[in-house]
Each structure stands twice: as structure tokens, then as C-alpha cells.
Amino acid sequence: MNILSGKKVLLGITGGIAAYKTTYLTRLLVKAGVSVKVVMTPSAKDFVTPLTLSTLSKNPVLSTFTNEDDDNDMWNNHVDLGLWADLMIIAPCTANTMSKMVNGTVDNLLLAVYTSAKCPVYFAPAMDLDMYKHPSTTQNFEKLASYGNFMIPAGDGELASGLSGKGRMAEPEEIVSFIEQQLLKEQPLRGKKCLITAGPTHESIDPVRFIGNHSTGKMGMALATDLANRGVLVTLIMGPSSVKTDNVLIERINVISAQEMYEAVHANINNQDYAIFSAAVADYKPAIPAHQKIKKSSETLTLELVKNPDILASVGAMESHPFLVGFALETENEMEHAFAKAKKKNTDLLILNSMNDNGAGFGIDTNKITIIDNQGNAQEFPVKSKTLVAKDIVDEIVKRTS
């Protein structure tokens, strides 16, 4: 699977002869599974047509803040565009546009999008030899890099002026390859394997009723998604949950009971690099589930419960186990119970949730965690979306294992 697959890319095109190459670049990106939106400077339309690029990208091409042919049309929101993208490519990037990027000049839609972008920005310079070598251009290269942008070096070759030398925009294949290599550097987990448990378990009382809890599996799915986005092959063992994913790097195994989850974990735990146990597993189950629906025949009903297998402890007791992350949901004496659990279950990291914290718990989109390591250190985080909580946890795993 291409590392660019599923990414959202803004392609900014400025007014240089190399703009004709962006038709090939757009086609390569779409072929790699990228969703492409094109933003052009007005002068770029002198070199390549919006119709061609909109056909190839399968999206409208934008170049002005409003549709000049329709006074009632909505404006093109540069902030929304900047937030939409996973990365931005400006190719060709002329000397004029680079100078504006360095100095914060915003006199067209493309530059407004650039200054609003929260994503990594790649720029591919394209200009004549003397312009490329000019001290101001060299200085602009350095300043743009200092802002956190990534320069895709120009190549040597015949230029539009007839001269031959440095300044030729990198070929579309070279631009795609440069970005792929940069993304690979930023994914130290790529190719690793992780097993995750998520959601509740349901323990049958009879064919109709069960013992369960309010877990939805959202936290586990957020972890699986974050890891998959970093190139990790995820085995997600999910209890009963309506949460869905279509990420091809996530293999989902659906289970119902704690025993089924235990068996699925031990069938898949070998050769995993990481194991994250975020499922809310029922501690007990009915000793003998009824084969038929239990009728309401008396004022009380007594159930005999027996312990379920402790999945986290069973993996922690293995002679050789993956980097192990457990979850603990507590309602009282949270830190004391969490430290005891981390030691008893032999976890590398334990993620503590408290039901007493606003924004934490089941069935909501936020969480509040404390990360406890096996040395007894604790790091508390504020309330965040479960997506950002997952990122914090995975970042900590990277820090501990890289």
C-alpha cells in the first residue's frame, strides 16, 4: 500500500512554464490513492487550464476567493482548505511566489491558503538559472525551510530560456518520491504490528440477556486508526460495537464474550510488536447460562458468577511478550489502584481513566488519561478528543520503543 494512499493533498500551482507538468503530477497523486484539490494563482491559468486539472483531480479548481461569474456564489474559504489538507505541494514555486511566502504577502487565494495551512508544505522551485543562483533566492530557500517547509530540490537540465543548468522543476515522479521518502522518515512505526482489544464483552445469562457494560469501543478504534495512519498493521479484536472502519491496515476480529476475546488474543499475539488492551472486559460471567429464556417466576433471581480469564495478566505473564499497554478505569483511589494493577499485570504502560473526571468514561467522544510506566512515573493529560488521546498514547509508545 502506498504511503500516500488516503491522504488529502492541496496542489498549489503558480505562474511558470513548468506548470504544464502538474497535469502529470495530479494524475500520479490520484493514481496513488490521494484526494487532490487544486488551487492556482491567476497567472498559472496562462500555462495550464483549470478544466484539465479539474478533470484529472475530480474536484473543482480554485483560483479566486469568489466565483467572478456569480455574485451570489459562496466565497472559497482559505481557512477550511488549509485545515482540510494532510499536506500541501506548491509546484511550480516561482521566485515571485517564494518571496511572498517568505514575507507574508497574501495577494491571492493560493497564498491565503498557504498561510492558513496547518499541514506540512512542500515547495518545488522552478526558475531560470540566474534567478535560481541569485542571493535573494538562496536566502528565501533558507527562510522557507526555517518556517518548517520542505524544499524539493530543482534539477539540472535545459531551461525555458535556452540555458542549461539548475532551476528546472523536479519531475512529477521525483516530487512524489521525495514526499513518500519524507513521510517514511516520519513513520518510525511503519511495518510494525499491533494487537488491540476494544469495546465491551457480553456474558450470556440466557439466550436473551447478558452481563455487559457501557463501553462503545471508540477509544480502541481511535488507537487502531492512529496506528494504521502511521503504517502499523493492526489486529483489532472488538467486542460488540457499532463503531466501524474501512482502513485496509486494520484487520477486525469480532468477538462477544471474554472467553472469545481471550482465545482471539492468544491466537494472534505471536509476532506482534505492541499489544494495547483497551477493552472493557467483564470480570465475571454466569457459571451456567440458561439454554432457554429465564421466566419471571419469583421476586428474586440469584445468579452464580465465576471469574473470566484475565487477558491482560495472561499476556503480561508470557516469557516474551510485546510492548504491553493496559487500561484501568477506576472510580476511587484511582492512582493507588492503577499502580497496583500496572505492577500485577506487568505492563510497560498503563492508561488510567477515572469515572470521576468530567469528559472521561464510556459513550462520549472525549477522554482524560494519566499514563503510568513500569518505573512508577505518572504523566497526566487534560481532557481531549479520543482521537487526540490516541495520538498522545501512540506518541508515548514511539518515545519508549524507538
Catalytic residues: 213
Cell of residue 121, nine digits: 508544505
What gap in Å lies between CA 232 and CA 289, rounded to an integer? Answer: 39
**Alpha-carbon gap, residue 236 to 253, rounded angstroms:** 6
d(CA 54, CA 360): 44
Q: Using an 8 Å Cβ cutoff, are 104 and 115 in contact?
A: yes
- Neighbour count for residue 290 (Cβ, 10 Å): 15
Residue appearing with cell numbers 472486559: 281
Decide: 202 and 348 in contact? Cβ < 8 Å: no
DSSP label of 62? B
Are 249 and 231 in contact by the 8 Å Cβ rule? The answer is: yes
Contact of 43 with 52, CB cutoff 8 Å: no
Q: What share of the chain is helix, strand, coil (3-state, %, to 5)?
A: 35, 25, 40
Q: Is the peptide bond before 382 cis (omega within 30 degrees of 0)?
A: no
- Contact present, 340 and 357 (Cβ < 8 Å): no
Contact 276, 223 (CB under 8 A): yes
